[in-house]
Amino acid sequence: MTNNITFTSRCPQINTAYKVCHIINENLPHTSATKIQGIVEKLIQKYPKAYKKYVFENRMFPAHGENDLEQQILNLFRSKRRLEIDMERVRDYWGSIYKNNDFDKIYAILNQLRYDRLGNCMEDAKAAEIIMRMNGFKNVVSANLKRGKESVDHCVLIFNKDGSEFDGNWNRNTIILDAWSGICDFAGSWFKKYSSLFKNNTYIPENGKFGFRNIEKLNLSDKELDILKKEYSNLLIKK
């Protein structure tokens, strides 16, 4: 997905959020299996018989399709499955090396993005949190989405425009930074955009108020942040 990011927002905090997305795209480019999911869902809707034959009824994936079109569809399904397997592998690998605390978790995520170039919304949200903390934003937290009582499989970064701590309930000051989609906006507007543009990428319930679950904040000392600033100076926002 290509994002045409501009820095002309009336709100300086949203402007900064877009700059963080740009920093991630430029310095930590990576592939996301969940972005491919939107393409796969459209193929499933367009070619339900091929999906049933090659995926739903055959988890091992045959080597060849019966014609060129089916072969292209099969290749895409196979690529997505391979990405999902690779994602779990690299998460387990880096997580087994850096596993003691949040400072370790940062290195696991940054190394995964830097060297394996694989990451989904969780890695994007954590990378954004790291960058925002390095650049002086202390009130940022990551969280998964929900709508009503149902979970939505997506992770974003959240902070309040006025600098106050996010208490779990969004309001007109709450900003969502979604490095995965490249969309940053006040929560109310962001939810409308996300539910419209990305309904093929994950299950989004049709009814209920959007909210957050599994709210987390990285526990980092000033000394640890200084170490990150020196080691990852390319992640600092240029003045």
Tell me the pLDDT tens digit for each residue of 101-112: 999 999 999 999
What residues pair up with 128 in beta bridges, in sequence order? none
Least confident of 74-88, 120-134, 210-224: 74-88
| Residue ranges per structural domain of the chain | 12-28+121-233
The H or E element that residue 183 is part of is strand 183-186
Weakest mean pLDDT among 18-22, 71-75, 136-140:
71-75
Q: What is the structure's pLDDT at 6? A: 47
* Residue among 194, 139, 142, 116 nearest 13 (CA): 139
* Residues paired with residue 211 on neighbouring β-strands, in sequence order: 146
Residue-level pLDDT at 53:
66
Q: Which residue has the higher pLDDT, 15 or 6?
A: 15
Helix (H, G, I), strand (E, B) or coil at 98: coil
Q: pLDDT tens digit string along 126-171?
A: 999 999 999 999 999 999 999 999 999 999 999 999 999 999 999 9
- Residue 57, pLDDT score: 54
Q: What is the pLDDT of residue 2?
A: 44
pTM for this entry: 0.85
| pLDDT confidence of residue 35 | 81
Q: Which residues of 134-155 are buried (b: 16+ CB within 10 A; e: fewer)?
A: bbebebbbbbbbbbeeeebebb
174-178 and 150-160 as β-strands: parallel, antiparallel, unpaired? Answer: antiparallel
Distance CA 38, CA 41 (A): 5
Mean pLDDT of 1-5: 46
Q: 130-139 pLDDT, tens per residue?
A: 999 999 999 9
Joined together, the tokens standing for residue 9 give 């927002």
Q: At 136, phi and psi to the nearest 5?
A: 95, 0
